[in-house]
Amino acid sequence: MSAPGEAREPGEPLLELRGLTRHFRLKEGLTGQRTAIALDGIDLKLRRGAAYGLVGESGSGKTTVARLILRLLQPTSGQILFAGQDITGLKGEALMKLRERIQIVFQDPHASLNPRKTILFSVAEPLVVHRRLKGPALRHRVEELLEIVGLPGGFLFRYPHELSGGQKQRACIARAVALNPELLVLDEPTSALDVSVQAQVLEFLHDLKARLDLTYLFISHDLSVVRYLCDRVAVMYMGKVVEEGTVDAVFESPSHPYTESLLSAVPLPQARQPAGRIVLSGDVPSATAIPPGCPFHPRCPRKIGPVCETAVPRLEPRLRDRAVACHLYGSET
Amino acid sequence: MAGPAPLLELRDYSLSIDSFDGRLQVLDGVSFSIAPGEVVGIVGETGCGKSITVKSVIGLVPSPPAKVESGTVSFDGRDITAAGESAIRRLRGREVAMIFQDPMTYLNPLFTVGQQLSDVIRAKEALDPAAAPRTRAERRAKALALLGQVHLPDPERQFESYPHQLSGGMRQRVLIAMALAGSPRLLIADEPTTALDVTIQAQILDLVKELVETLGMAVIIISHDLGVVAALCRRILVMYAGTIVEDAGTADLFENPRHPYTRGLLAAIPRLDGSVTSLSGIPGSIPNFIEPPQGCRFHPRCAQAGARCGRERPRNLEVAPDHWTACHLFDGGVE
């Protein structure tokens, strides 16, 4: 697969987000309005061939990032660069072309497949829309795709209700890779699956990436899954990236107090739980009332003082392999 | 299996449910017991029967379509297998309480937390003829005490709140407060933290742990997350397709899993510390419950299955002290 007319310098990121921000206006009462800040000026770079994890709890903005990249939503401000090209304002034909190169797999495979259409129809749809394939060529390509995702020919004329959850998710992945995309956005693709099926899908995603030369943006609330599949990770809290770096660095020695408590909160499937678990108090604040300063300061166990309540920490490089947005490290940068 | 005088005991309990397609053999010979004050986890994947087991025990599965095919259930030494509706209601109200996965579904959106909690307190009073009925103010005081016990922030204000004004974690705390209203001896928690974020889950797990220590009630935690049960329970039951395949102490189960299904399940979990670099799923999918596999229900997916597994139902054997498993591998071989 080759990107038409694009230079492939190894140094150039495939996807770059610059100050990406998205607000949602919410109605309150009859005339009132509130603004929810779903995403607040995030910067990210995805190297070609990366498996990039985006983690955070509900409301942290991870799915908003996915929808903005797919251009299913318009950003309030900021830029999205794909292979060096600003795609923030693409329209019409150009946007159609872009969608061949960026595809998405959603969390609930059942909701993403039309219950009245066969698997052949669903997987063929992007090929019909974008490539105008038909007849034997179309059927041949769908068979090939189903083969890649491990669904043999017998599945062509089945309906979604005849498939298990794992099989449906494989069909959705087949549809997503039908146009040979460069970037695959996976929004909680295994969250609806049982653990034994999740294991099969994760193994398969791991192999698929190498086989089809894909780049993954993998969104998940499940930290163990990100650790398994990804090589870099960004941790989000209230619409901001609080820590970013290689998976090994971030998971083994988290720098941001939020990352630290998030990792420590995961109960482990093993004989003994580690001592000294950090349990955060309170709830995640509402996106319509984000605390001033560092958004994490009301829950932070390592708050250093008034600076946390007034100044927004910037995401600054720290050590060799990460960037952190926290005043704890202010003096080092 | 447990010490003397179990609080809840199931013996060879089998349940079927009539459906449009035929009779589903949902539970097949389930036996376990829970001692007073014991915290036990039941784990398994979707459709393994973990929820239906406890729900049918406390009469939450309507019959028909459900039918007890064999076995007995006893609570505190009393046989409740065929107990009538009023006896089961008394049991549910005073001795057993249950909390569920999605707290919003179990709260009425049109009434305040205080009204709903007071109603529960009044209903529990009605079941206890010895207790003098409380006044409204006394009920309010009791409700506030319960909300305090589950560490709901600012209970006075939340008493007047509607469920939609609370976060998911706070709603689950309210549900736990309702469950505690009758001072139950057994609390059943069905996926209590599955709908919650991981930092909120940690808070609820801490709360359950604290309540177990202070109130001494027995708890059954049902979860698909082996981490959650490992964090809370002393003993874990592993279910597969309506049967209990393994029953062991938590440490023993993780260090020495015996049943091929348990081993497969553990090998399928990605680890936070990155110690697992290759995951193996379990091939195949859960069986059809109308005609479940003969012999061991796991044998069609089991890599170690032999001829005997498709023929003969494995016995539940104690393979190590207090470690039980139902597999022919530990009972004379699979051939």
Q: Which residue has the higher pLDDT, A256 or B332?
A: A256
Tell which of A195, A220, A283, A300 to mutate to test the B interface (max B CBs under 10 Å): A195
Tokens 């952190």 sit on residue: A324
Tokens 């220590």 sit on residue: B213
Tell me, what's the pLDDT at B334? 80
Is pLDDT of B124 > 90? Answer: no
Paired residues of A324 in beta bridges = A243, A316
In chain A, residues with a C-beta closer than 8 Å to the C-beta of B224 are: 194-195
Beta strands in A175-329 (DSSP E): 183-187, 215-220, 232-237, 240-246, 316-318, 322-324
Q: Name the token pair of A131.
A: 């490539």
CA B110 to chain centroid:
29
Q: Which of B45, B227, B252 sits opposite A269 (nearest CB)?
A: B227
Rg of chain A in Å (alpha carbons): 21
pLDDT tens track for B210-249: 999 999 899 999 999 999 999 999 999 999 999 999 999 9
pLDDT band at B4 (very low <50, low <70, confident <90, very high): low
Phi, psi values for residue A211, rounded to 5°: -65, -40
Separation CA A245–CA A256 (nearest Å): 11
Tell me, what's the pLDDT at A276? 82
CA B242 to chain centroid:
14
Three-state SS for B21?
A: coil
pLDDT band at B169 (very low <50, low <70, confident <90, very high): confident
Q: 3-state DSSP: chain A helix, strand, coil percent, rounded to 5?
A: 35, 25, 40
The 10 Å Cβ neighbour count of residue B223 is 26
pLDDT tens track for A31-72: 888 888 999 999 999 999 999 999 998 888 999 999 999 999
The parts of chain A modelled with pLDDT lower than 70 are 1-11, 331-333
Q: Name the token pair of B164.
A: 């939609």
Tell which of A62, A198, A273, A283 to mutate to test the B interface (max B CBs under 10 Å): A283
Separation CA B180–CA B164 (nearest Å): 22
Separation CA B10–CA B243 (nearest Å): 12
**Residue A330 zone, left/alpha/beta (φ > 0; ψ -120 to 50; rest):** alpha
User: Inter-chain contact A196–B264, Cβ cutoff 8 Å?
Assistant: yes
Q: Is B170 on the interface with A (CB under 8 A)?
A: yes
Q: Which of A195, A267, A270 sits opposite B265 (nearest CB)?
A: A195
In Å, what is the CA distance from A117 to each residue of A112, A122, A125, A161, B92?
12, 7, 11, 10, 46
Helix axes A119-131, A135-148, angle to 10 degrees: 120
In Å, what is the CA distance from B243 to each residue of A305, B66, B228?
56, 17, 21
- State the burial class of residue B108 (Cβ atoms within 10 Å of its Cβ: 0-12, 13-18, 19+): exposed
Amino acid at B64: P
Number of inter-chain CB pairs under 8 A, A vs B: 131
Q: Is A236 on the interface with B (CB under 8 A)?
A: no
| CA triple B153-B154-B158, angle to 5 deg | 100
User: Inter-chain contact A197–B285, Cβ cutoff 8 Å?
Assistant: yes
Q: Which of A228, A247, A268 sits opposite B279 (nearest CB)?
A: A228
In chain B, residues with a C-beta closer than 8 Å to the C-beta of A282 are: 153
In Å, what is the CA distance from B138 to each residue of A209, B94, B141, B143, B185?
63, 19, 5, 9, 23
Residues 194-213 of A with CB under 8 A from B: 194-203
Separation CA A183–CA A186 (nearest Å): 10
Tell me, what's the pLDDT at B7? 92
- State the burial class of residue A281 (Cβ atoms within 10 Å of its Cβ: 0-12, 13-18, 19+): exposed
**DSSP, res B267:** H
Beta strands in A29-156 (DSSP E): 32-47, 51-55, 77-82, 85-86, 102-105
Beta strands in chain A (DSSP E): 13-28, 32-47, 51-55, 77-82, 85-86, 102-105, 183-187, 215-220, 232-237, 240-246, 316-318, 322-324
CA distance B197 to chain A (A): 6
In Å, what is the CA distance from B106 to each residue of B62, B148, B207?
18, 20, 20
CA distance B135 to chain A (A): 33
8 A C-beta contact, residue A166 and residue B45: no
In chain A, residues with a C-beta closer than 8 Å to the C-beta of B230 are: 267-271, 273
pLDDT tens track for B283-320: 887 888 888 999 999 999 999 988 999 999 999 999 99
Beta strands B78-79 and B243-249 are: unpaired
Amino acid at A89: G
In Å, what is the CA distance from A95 to each residue of A47, A70, A72?
22, 10, 11
Tokens 């956005």 sit on residue: A185
In Å, what is the CA distance from A333 to each residue of A215, A256, A257, B247, B259?
31, 15, 18, 54, 54
Three-state SS for B130?
A: coil
In chain B, residues with a C-beta closer than 8 Å to the C-beta of A227 are: 270-274
